[in-house]
Structure 1
Amino acid sequence: MRLLLHTGLLAAIGIGLTGSPVVADITTTINPASNRGSWEGWGVSLAWWGKIFGTRSDLADIFFTKNLVSYSGSTLPGLGLNIVRYNAGASSSNSINGTTMASNSILSSRKIDGYWIDWTSSSPSSSSWSWGVDTNQRNMMALAKARGVDRFELFSNSPMWWMCSNHNPAGASDGGENIQSWNIANHAVYLATIAKYAHDNWGITFTSVEPFNEPSSSWWKSTNNQEGSHFSIATQTQVISALRTELNNRGLSSTAVSASDENTYDLAVSTWNSFNSTIRGKIGRINVHGYQQTSGRRDLLYSAASAAGLKIWNSEYGDSDATGTQLAQSLLLDFSTLHPTAWTYWQAVDGSGWGLITGDVEAGSLSSATKKYFVLAQFTRHIREGMRILDSGNSAVAAAYDATNRKLVIVAANFNSGQYINFDLSKFSQPSTNGAAVARWSTHLTSSEQYASYSDTVMSGTKFWSYFDQNTVQTFEVNNVSL
C-alpha cells in the first residue's frame, strides 16, 4: 500500500492502543530544523459572491471566525480566514460625452462597478470618481475586518472599461491586449488611488496591490461572462513600474506590488523569467493561481522566488470537485513543493462543486456547505498565522509549529486503501511526552463524516500513529513540543 503522491517510505512497527502490534504502511518524520516561512494566513476573494451576499453576517461569521455558526439547519465550524482579496471593478453605466461601456455578456453578478467613471479628472474628490458604488463587496470587507481579518489585497480583473480599446472590460475580440497605450499609466493611477482612499476613508490598509488577473492568458475575449484582460509582458512591465511609483507618491511605499497572478505555476515561472532585474526589484511578492491542480513545476517557481528573496502566495484556487479531494491533493502539494506563505480560495459561494457553500450567485440563493468546506477547515482552523511551516518529507503531509504555544500541527491525507500512518517526532528536542494525548480531527471525503473530533490518539515514545480510511483527511495537534 502507498499514499498517493508519496513513494519509497519504509514501513514502521509500533504498538497499538490495545497493546497489540500495529504495522504502519508509512512513517513520516517531521524535520524541526526546516523553515519554509512564517504562515501569513488563509483567504478568499470577495468577487463575485461579495457583491450579492455582502450584507450576510452569517457568511462573515462562517468564513472569518473560528466560531461554531448556525447555518441552514446545521452548525458549521468557522474557517477563520484572515485574508481578503478585494476586486477593483471595471464597469459603470454612465455616459462620458456620449461614450458608454460597450454592450457585453458579463453576468450581472460579475459586473463590478468601478470607482473612476470619467476620464476627465484623476482627482478622487472630483465628479469623475463615484465612491458610493460597490457597497456590498465593500460591506463584506468591513464585516471581515470586524471579525479579525488583518491582511487585505486589492486586485484587478480588467482596467476600467474606458481604458479598453473596445470599451469592453470582458476583453478584446481576439483575446489580445485591450488596454489603450495612453491608459497604461492610468490603470496604475486607478489602483493606487483606491488604495489611498481605502486607507483614508474605509479604515482598510491594503498590504498589496495586484494589477493583473491571469494576464498572459488569451481567453479574455469580448464575449466572456466576466471581466478580464490580457496584458503582454511589455505592458505588464510598464504597469508594475507605474504602480510602484503611484503608490509611493501617495505615501504607500509599504504597500507591495504583487504580480502576476498567472493561471498556472508554469506560466508564472515563464512570466517571472521574462522580467528584468529592475522590474523584479519593484515586485514585493509573487502571486500565482493554482489551476494547474496537481501538475506543474511548483519547485521552479519556489526556486525563483527564493533567489529573489520573495514570498509566494497561492492567491487564487478553485475546482469543481465538491468532495474536496482535488483541493486536498493540490494544497498538500503546495505545502511540500511550492511553499507559499498564504493560500486563498476563489469563489466561497458557487454552484457545480466550485463553492465552499453551494449557492447560485446570479440568482442570489444559498444552500448547504460542500464536503470541500470541511476539508479546507482541517487546514484553516489549525495551521494559523505566525506558525512556522516545516518539512515533512511527505507530499501528502503538511506540518506547522506554533512556537508561542509549543504546539505541532500536522495535516495528512490518504487517498488509497486504508492504512496506518506513523508520525515520527524523534528529531525534536522535546517530542512531547510518552503517553500524552494527541488531539485528532477527521473528515471523510466520501462518507457522512464532516469535521469530527476524537481523543483516541496518544504519544508512544517519540511517535504516534493513526489509521486512515481511504479518502480521509486528518489533523493532529501535539502539545509540549520543542524544536
Structure 2
Amino acid sequence: MKLINLILCGGLALSFCACSDTPSGESTKRPAGQDPDPKPTPEPGGDDNVVSPTPSFTLNNRTVAVNTAKTYQEMEGFGASDCWLPNKIGTYWGGNRLQIARWLFSKNVSSDGQPQGIGLSMWRVNLGAGTEEAGDAGGVDNINNRAESYLQTSGSYDWKRCNGQQYFMQQAKNNGVEKFVLFSNSPLVQYTLNGQGRSDNGGSANLKDDCYTPFAEYMAEVAKHFTLEGYNISHISPVNEPQYNWDGRDQEGSGWQNTEVARLTRELDKALQSRSLSTKILIGEAASWEYTYKGNNNRENTINAFFDPASEAYVGDLGHIEKAIAGHSYWTFDNWNHMRDIRAKVKTSADARGIKVWQTEWSMLDKEPSELGGSYDDVSEFDIAQYMSRIIHNDITVAGCSSWSYWTAMSVERYGQKNRFELIKTTPAGGNYSDDFTAEGNAVATPNLWVLGNYSLFVRPGYRRVDLTLDESKDFFGTAYIAPDNTRLVLVITNYDKERGISLAMDAPKDAKSVYTYTTTATKQMKQAQFNLKDKVFVDPASVTTIVYNF
C-alpha cells in the first residue's frame, strides 16, 4: 500500500498507510469495529515527508484539535463480566441468548449501517466458589448469585460445569473477543474456613492456611484448560474487593489482607510457571479508587503495598504479574470535580511506581450523583448511560486507565432500578420478580450498552490515545485514538446540551478517505451517518458520538 501525505501539525510527523474505504451500507468489507490487517506502528519522527492528521474544528467560538504526534496510553480493552445470570441464561435460553451474545460481542454492521453489537474486546469470566453445588449450605441465599466451580469433591475436574458461562465464552471467541480474564470472588468452598462462599473471617481471608497452594493450582488449571481450548486467557484476577468483609449472604466474597493477597499471588505465579502459561496476574480489584493510593492498614494503599520493593506485600518482581493496578469506579463519581481529583491521585501514585491502571468494574451502585440531573425516579435511562460516559472519560483521561469494564453484562430490573446495573436488561418468563431463569425470557439492550459501544466497538486493543484539545467541561468533552497501523482516527465526543447540537466546522485530514459518525441518544443506538469530507460533522444534542476517519 502506498504512503499518503497528511496535513502538518507542529512540524511533527508520522507514517500512514492508505486502506480501502468502507462503502456506505456495506457490512462485509469493514465492520465498524474491525481494522484492516495490522501493520507495525512507525517509530516516532518517521518519514519527514509524511505528517500526522490534525482535524481542527471551530464550534461556538471554540476550537477542537487533534495532534496524533502527542500520545498517551495504549488501550488494552473494553469489557464486561459474566456475573451471574449468564450461567442460567446461557444454559436454558434459546434465541434470546444468541441475541444477547450478538449485542455484546458482534463487530458487524447491518446493511443499513446499524452496528449489531458493541464488539467487546475483553470478557471477564467468574471463577465461582462452588456455591451452586453446595446449595443452601454454601452461604449464598440469592439462588441466581450462586456460582459453580469445575472442581468436584473427589478432586477431579468436571469441564461440563458452568455450561451457560461456557456458552457465552464460546460466542465471545466466535466473535473475535481478544482477551478473557478469569476472576475470583471467593476461594472454593472446600478450601474456605467456614465451608461457604461468603465469609465469617472479618478482614482476613476466608481461606485455610494450607489451601493457598491448592487454590492457586485450581485457578491455573482452569486457565490451562481454556488456553488449550483456544481461548486467550490473558489474565487471572485472584481476589475481588478485598477491602470488604463479605459477611452477607447475597453473593460470594471474602475479605483479604494485602499480605494474604501477596501470598496467594506468589503461589499463583508458581502455578502458572509450572504450566508454561503466558497468562498474567491482575492484582488489586480495589473496591474504590481511594483504596489504591491512601490508607495505612493492611487492606489499603494497594499500589504501594504490591509495587513498592520495601513492602512486605511486594509482588512486582514476579514473572507473571501484570504491571498494573486494578480498581473499581464505585463511590467516586458524585460530581465532575470530585471524580477528577480522585483519579488524578490514582495516576500520580501509579506513575510513581511505573505501573498501568485498569478500571475493572463499575455500575451505578451509589446514591444518585449530585450532577445526574435528579433522583433516579426522575431521570431517564439515557441520562444514566450518558453519565457513565463522564466516568469512562475521566477514568481514561485523568486516571490514565488503559482498560475499562462494566460490571454485570446482564441483569434484571427490580424496584425501579432502571438500567443502573446492566448493559442488557433480562426478564425471566415469570416476570421481573421471578427467580426462575430456566425458561426462555426476554432481553432488551439498554442505553448503557450503546454508550459503552461508542468506545468499545471503535477503540480496539492496541489503539493509542492521542491529544485532543478542546474547551473541556462536564457538559462537553471527548477523547481521540489512533489505530496501530495509522489507518483510522477515532474521536468520542459527549455533548450534554439537550437543546443544541454542534456543527464541527473543520478541515478534515487531507488524505482521509471517509468520515462516519455513530450517534447514541435517547432515541438512537449508535446510528451511523456518513459525511462528505467537505461538510461539517454534526454532533446531536444530548448525545455520545463516535467520529471515525478512515485513511
* TM-score normalised to structure 2 length: 0.71
Q: C-alpha displacement at 1:93, in angstroms?
A: 6.6
Partner of 1:113: 148
Structure 2 residue identity aligned to 1:412: I
Structure 1 residue identity aligned to 2:395: D
For residues 459 and 329 of structure 1, do their structure 2 counterparts lie closer, same or farther at Cα, with a shift above 3 Å needed? Answer: farther
Q: C-alpha displacement at 1:23, in angstroms?
A: 5.5
Is 1:268 the counterpart of 2:309? The answer is no
Q: 1:183 aligns with which of 191, 211, 215?
A: 211
Q: 1:400 aligns with which of 477, 481, 484?
A: 481
For residues 77 and 186 of structure 1, do their structure 2 counterparts lie closer, same or farther at Cα, with a shift above 3 Å needed? Answer: same
Aligned 8 A contact 1:58 1:69 in 2: no
2-side partners of 1:423 and 1:36: how far apart?
A: 26
Equivalent residue of 1:217, what SS?
coil
Aligned 8 A contact 2:59 2:504 in 1: no
Partner of 2:422: 355
Aligned 8 A contact 2:396 2:402 in 1: no
Is 1:472 the counterpart of 2:532? The answer is no
Gaps of 5+ in 1: 1-14, 17-21, 119-125, 426-430
Aligned 8 A contact 1:170 1:227 in 2: yes
Aligned 8 A contact 1:413 1:472 in 2: yes
Gaps of 5+ in 2: 1-55, 92-96, 294-300, 334-338, 366-379, 429-434
1-side partners of 2:76 and 2:388: how far apart?
A: 19
Higher alpha-carbon deviation: 59-68 or 166-175: 166-175
Q: 2:492 aligns with which of 397, 411, 422?
A: 411
Partner of 2:281: 257
1-side partners of 2:259 and 2:445: how far apart?
A: 43
For residues 381 and 197 of structure 1, do their structure 2 counterparts lie closer, same or farther at Cα, with a shift above 3 Å needed? Answer: closer
Aligned 8 A contact 1:293 1:330 in 2: no
* TM-score normalised to structure 1 length: 0.80
Q: C-alpha displacement at 1:166, in angstroms?
A: 1.5
Partner of 2:41: none
2-side partners of 1:50 and 1:414: how far apart?
A: 33
For residues 162 and 435 of structure 1, do their structure 2 counterparts lie closer, same or farther at Cα, with a shift above 3 Å needed? Answer: closer
2-side partners of 1:236 and 1:406: how far apart?
A: 42
For residues 476 and 68 of structure 1, do their structure 2 counterparts lie closer, same or farther at Cα, with a shift above 3 Å needed? Answer: closer
Partner of 1:232: 257
For residues 468 and 140 of structure 1, do their structure 2 counterparts lie closer, same or farther at Cα, with a shift above 3 Å needed? Answer: closer
Aligned 8 A contact 1:175 1:230 in 2: yes
For residues 127 and 279 of structure 1, do their structure 2 counterparts lie closer, same or farther at Cα, with a shift above 3 Å needed? Answer: closer
Is 1:388 the counterpart of 2:443? The answer is no
1-side partners of 2:138 and 2:180: how far apart?
A: 32
For residues 103 and 135 of structure 1, do their structure 2 counterparts lie closer, same or farther at Cα, with a shift above 3 Å needed? Answer: closer
Partner of 1:57: 98
1-side partners of 2:332 and 2:442: how far apart?
A: 27
Q: C-alpha displacement at 1:435, in angstroms?
A: 10
Is 1:332 the counterpart of 2:373? The answer is no
Q: 2:231 aligns with which of 192, 200, 204?
A: 204
For residues 109 and 423 of structure 1, do their structure 2 counterparts lie closer, same or farther at Cα, with a shift above 3 Å needed? Answer: farther
Equivalent residue of 1:27, what SS?
strand
For residues 389 and 316 of structure 1, do their structure 2 counterparts lie closer, same or farther at Cα, with a shift above 3 Å needed? Answer: same
Equivalent residue of 1:179, what SS?
coil
Equivalent residue of 1:86, what SS?
strand
Equivalent residue of 2:70, what SS?
coil
Equivalent residue of 1:329, what SS?
helix
Is 1:85 the counterpart of 2:150? The answer is no
Aligned 8 A contact 2:531 2:537 in 1: no
Q: Describe the superposition over 1:254-313 as per-residue Cα deviations: whole angstroms up to 9, x where unpaired.
A: 211111111222112311122342412233132222224532622333334344443332
For residues 67 and 307 of structure 1, do their structure 2 counterparts lie closer, same or farther at Cα, with a shift above 3 Å needed? Answer: same
Structure 1 residue identity aligned to 2:527: A
Is 1:248 the counterpart of 2:248? The answer is no
Q: C-alpha displacement at 1:81, in angstroms?
A: 1.1
Structure 2 residue identity aligned to 1:209: I
Q: Describe the superposition over 1:59-110 as per-residue Cα deviations: whole angstroms up to 9, x where unpaired.
A: 222211123579xxxx763111121111111015768xxxx98352342222
Higher alpha-carbon deviation: 170-179 or 234-243: 170-179
Partner of 2:315: 279
1-side partners of 2:240 and 2:467: how far apart?
A: 31
Matches within 5 A, 1:425-440: 432-433=509-510, 438-440=515-517
Q: 1:342 aligns with which of 383, 403, 417?
A: 403
Q: 1:104 aligns with which of 139, 142, 151?
A: 139
For residues 434 and 308 of structure 1, do their structure 2 counterparts lie closer, same or farther at Cα, with a shift above 3 Å needed? Answer: same
1-side partners of 2:519 and 2:133: how far apart?
A: 52
Aligned 8 A contact 1:233 1:271 in 2: yes
Q: C-alpha displacement at 1:247, in angstroms?
A: 0.9
Partner of 1:136: 164
Equivalent residue of 1:473, what SS?
strand
Equivalent residue of 2:137, what SS?
coil
Structure 2 residue identity aligned to 1:420: I
For residues 293 and 66 of structure 1, do their structure 2 counterparts lie closer, same or farther at Cα, with a shift above 3 Å needed? Answer: farther
Q: Describe the superposition over 1:142-163 as per-residue Cα deviations: whole angstroms up to 9, x where unpaired.
A: 2211221121111101001122
Aligned 8 A contact 2:107 2:175 in 1: no
For residues 423 and 206 of structure 1, do their structure 2 counterparts lie closer, same or farther at Cα, with a shift above 3 Å needed? Answer: farther
Structure 2 residue identity aligned to 1:450: Q
For residues 421 and 243 of structure 1, do their structure 2 counterparts lie closer, same or farther at Cα, with a shift above 3 Å needed? Answer: farther
Structure 2 residue identity aligned to 1:441: Y
Q: Describe the superposition over 1:22-72 as per-residue Cα deviations: whole angstroms up to 9, x where unpaired.
A: 8615323223222223322222212213202225222222211123579xx
Partner of 2:361: 316
1-side partners of 2:279 and 2:206: how far apart?
A: 27
Aligned 8 A contact 1:40 1:385 in 2: yes
Equivalent residue of 2:401, what SS?
coil
2-side partners of 1:94 and 1:377: how far apart?
A: 35
2-side partners of 1:410 and 1:349: how far apart?
A: 27
Q: C-alpha displacement at 1:315, in angstroms?
A: 1.6
Q: 1:420 aligns with which of 490, 497, 502?
A: 502
Q: Once superposed, what is the RMSD of the aligned Cα atoms?
A: 3.1
Equivalenced residue count is 432
Q: 2:77 aligns with which of 41, 48, 64?
A: 41
Structure 1 residue identity aligned to 2:219: L
Q: C-alpha displacement at 1:433, in angstroms?
A: 2.7
Aligned 8 A contact 2:350 2:356 in 1: yes
